[in-house]
Amino acid sequence: MRVVVAEKPSVARDLAKVLGATQRRDGYLEGNGWQVTWAIGHLVQLKTPDEYDPALKRWSMDRLPFIPERFELRPTDNRSTHEQLATVAGLCKKADELVCATDAGREGELIFRYILDYAGCPDREHTRLWLSSLTEEAITQAFKARKPGTSYANLHDAARCRSEADWIVGLNATRAYTVRFGGGGVLWSLGRVQTPVLALIAQRDDEIRVFDARPFWELRTRYRKAMFRFAGERFREQPPAQATLAQVEGQPLTITKLERRTESLPPPLLYDLTQLQRDMNLRHGLSAQRTLEVAQELYEKKLLTYPRTDSRHLSLDMVDTVRTTLGALRAWNPDALAVLATYVGGAPDGERGPRARSRRVFDDAKVSDHHAIIPTGKVESLGGEAQQVYDAVATRFVQAFLGDRVQDVTTAHAVSNGVPFRARGVVVTDAGWSQLEPQAPKKRKGKGKGADGDDDGDDDTQELPALREGESGPHAPELHEGKTKPPRPYTENTLLAAMETSGRTIDDEQLREAMRGRGLGTPATRASILETLLTRGYLQRDKKALRVTDLGRYLIAIIADPMLKSAELTGEWEWKLGEIERGRFTRPVFVQEIVARIRGLIATGMSPRNEHAGIGACPRCKADVIEGREAYGCSRWREDCAFRMPKLYRGVALQREQVRELLFRGVLVRPVTIDGAPRVVCRTATGELIDLQPPSRDAQRPGVKAAPKKRRGRATGAE
């Protein structure tokens, strides 16, 4: 009998329908020589430490780190799936021919391989079904194109590495920090990816908290309904701004130079999961997790291709498929397809169909496990969030084959009584792909950390009147007063972008592409990582903003080792997992690196290294901290380092040893009394002091089990 193992029951039903396996059995479908069964996500998981050694039920530092010689498996804690696990394992062992049809990616490979391990046949020969769409045609073609399971050995190695690394870091770090800092029964849950993400948000909150808003004055003038701005820097003080304003008042403005050029803005790239999640959060407020759930539902309804992808391109062999899909989308939006038909090389059918030469769409080198998310061509009435997600994907798909947005950009230079001014205007000559854009594209002023000031209008998109060089006339100058703005708090949209690029906030599409392989987590796991931090009470939503809680702040404060909270370092590990998939790095070396780092963490007592014989290092510039009459400060204060820690904080006199602890660790582990209540004093990444509620079991949200007395309990490894 030939056996197929799918990842979900719904996918198994689609496969069984194509194969003719229509007879329902207990845990599988059968017919036409096939048995089609399914997992329900992960059916097995790595054992916890106490299942290797009962003595490890007691959590203690002297038994850490614990690294098993060989990782062993057990059924998941969800008892409702145990019977299905027995069914799948039994069919795998008895099969004459075995087909892996779990989701085509790292995690799907791990689900299947773990089942084989648990069934006692890890080296069982099998073939691999690789699906990006669940249409009948795609399933038929995929069965014809099956490859031996050995062809995916590197993918299997990467999947194992990810799972084992998360276990090593998550289990050992969670136990170590809970034992050391878990007074009051608090379970401190750490993870290889989730902790650096939490650190990113905490650092952004620090930057916002200590931001010093400073006033500025900007000289503007209006000439023939066009807004001109002073061509120099903004004024940081009012007197010189007023003097410059007085210099131009009553004086004519003369156009000295006109620069004209034509800009062509190409269509945006197709969607991968991360960009889809970002856009849906920005436009409709959908969480990353909800967007993934909706996209998965649309995939299972055969409306979209596989959503858990990190590619924004299609393979060259998809040109004919794309042509057919574009034609079928007339039933979705005939107006959009009519726009497409007006562009040469973009007609939905016929010889002029989609251009294979467009490397922004078709590029085999940029298609990894799966191609970009696109419609399948099947259309049905949806409504609600499903319609929003489908419309976004279908619109982006059509846009990819439209022409560039072409615009004439004019920069006008002017002078008034020796004071230079400049204006910029844009005239769109061919809207191209932007005809279908939900919002007209605008120049991004910010760089991810908030613009330096505020603007009450986007003058860059104004349409200038017909100006000519040498003309002169009266104008209306004015002085605009504003204040510099702090960085914006992370939203799910901006956090996903930062996770994609290891903490770097990058707006440029090509630079993001270059950093893609070095992100935090994967497109498929980023949403769940965020939800984990919210569930555990380390983060909270404030409208669209994500904010660190007192509990999360305390956790980041007590973590001294950068291994656990460095976004770039963790991004490097994620990149190495990709290199393992590509056969350029080895599984043993990767695991050895993880083990060495966790051993070093435990050996140093989870404390930062004291490289200073004195009080400590300045958190801003790393120079020595010295003691003054009323405060401790940076020894480079003459070089404009503003770090200063007062000796008296909210009525509490800080002792020298407490200052050392704040500088080296970032937190006073023992609470102090402030305003009659116990508070925990923390030092932020920028060097300021804040106080928090002492962590307690009550501070943790439901679903997070604190370590019981005598440290008896389990904690599972996690990203």
One-letter amino acid identity for 635?
S
Residue 608 confidence (pLDDT) above 80:
no
Residues linked to residue 416 through DSSP beta bridges, in sequence order = 419
Average pLDDT over residues 473-481: 96
More confident residue, 194 or 348: 194
Rounded Cα gap, residues 519 and 197, in angstroms: 11
Start-end ranges of CATH 2.70.20.10 in the chain?
215-266+405-483
Ranking 54-58, 141-145, 409-413, 683-687 by mean pLDDT, the lowest is 683-687
Say if domain 2-145 classifies as CATH 3.40.50.140: yes
351: pLDDT strictly greater than 80? no
DSSP string across 446-512:
--SS--SS--SS-GGG-------TT-EE--EEEEEEEEPPPPPPPBHHHHHHHHHTTT-----HHHH
pLDDT reading at 611 higher than 60: no
- Cβ atoms < 10 Å from Cβ of 460: 15
Q: Is the pLDDT of residue 696 over 80?
A: no
Assess contact for 262 and 408: CB atoms under 8 A.
yes
Q: Give the CATH number of domain 280-399.
A: 1.10.290.10
pLDDT level of residue 325 (50, 70, 90 thresholds): very high
Q: Decide if domain 215-266+405-483 falls under CATH 3.40.50.1370.
A: no
> pLDDT digits over 414-471, tens only?
999 999 999 999 999 999 999 998 864 444 443 334 334 444 445 667 889 999 999 9
User: What is the location of CATH 1.10.290.10 in the chain?
Assistant: 280-399
Using pLDDT thresholds of 50, 70 and 90, give the confidence band for residue 506: low
CA distance 179 to 467: 73
Backbone dihedral region of 77: left (phi > 0), alpha (psi from -120 to 50 degrees) or beta? alpha
- List pLDDT tens digits, range 514-537: 456 667 888 888 999 999 999 999
pLDDT for the residue 297? 94
Closest CA relative to residue 695, chosen from 71, 59, 178: 178
pTM exceeding the 0.85 threshold for the entire prediction: no
Place of tokens 């603007």: 455
pLDDT at 343 over 90: no
Say how far apart CA 5 and CA 101 lie, in whole Å.
Answer: 5
State residue 521's pLDDT score. Answer: 84
The whole-angstrom separation of Cα 350 and Cα 119 is: 52
CA-closest candidate to residue 691, choices 707, 705, 677, 702: 677
277 and 385 in contact (C-beta within 8 Å)? Answer: no
Q: At what angle do helices 526-535 and 288-300 cross, to 10 degrees?
A: 130
Residues annotated catalytic, as ranges: 306
| Token representation of residue 73 | 């498996």
pLDDT of residue 443: 44
> Looking at residue 69, what is its pLDDT?
92
Quickly state the pLDDT bin for 642 (edges 50, 70, 90). confident
Instruction: Please report the pLDDT score of residue 11 as a whole number.
Output: 92
- 53 by DSSP, 3-state: which? coil
Measured CA angle at 61 (ends 577, 593), to 5 deg: 20
Task: Give CA angle at 532 (530, 537), nearest 5°.
Answer: 100
**Range 363-384 average pLDDT:** 89
Residues of the chain with CATH 3.40.50.140: 2-145
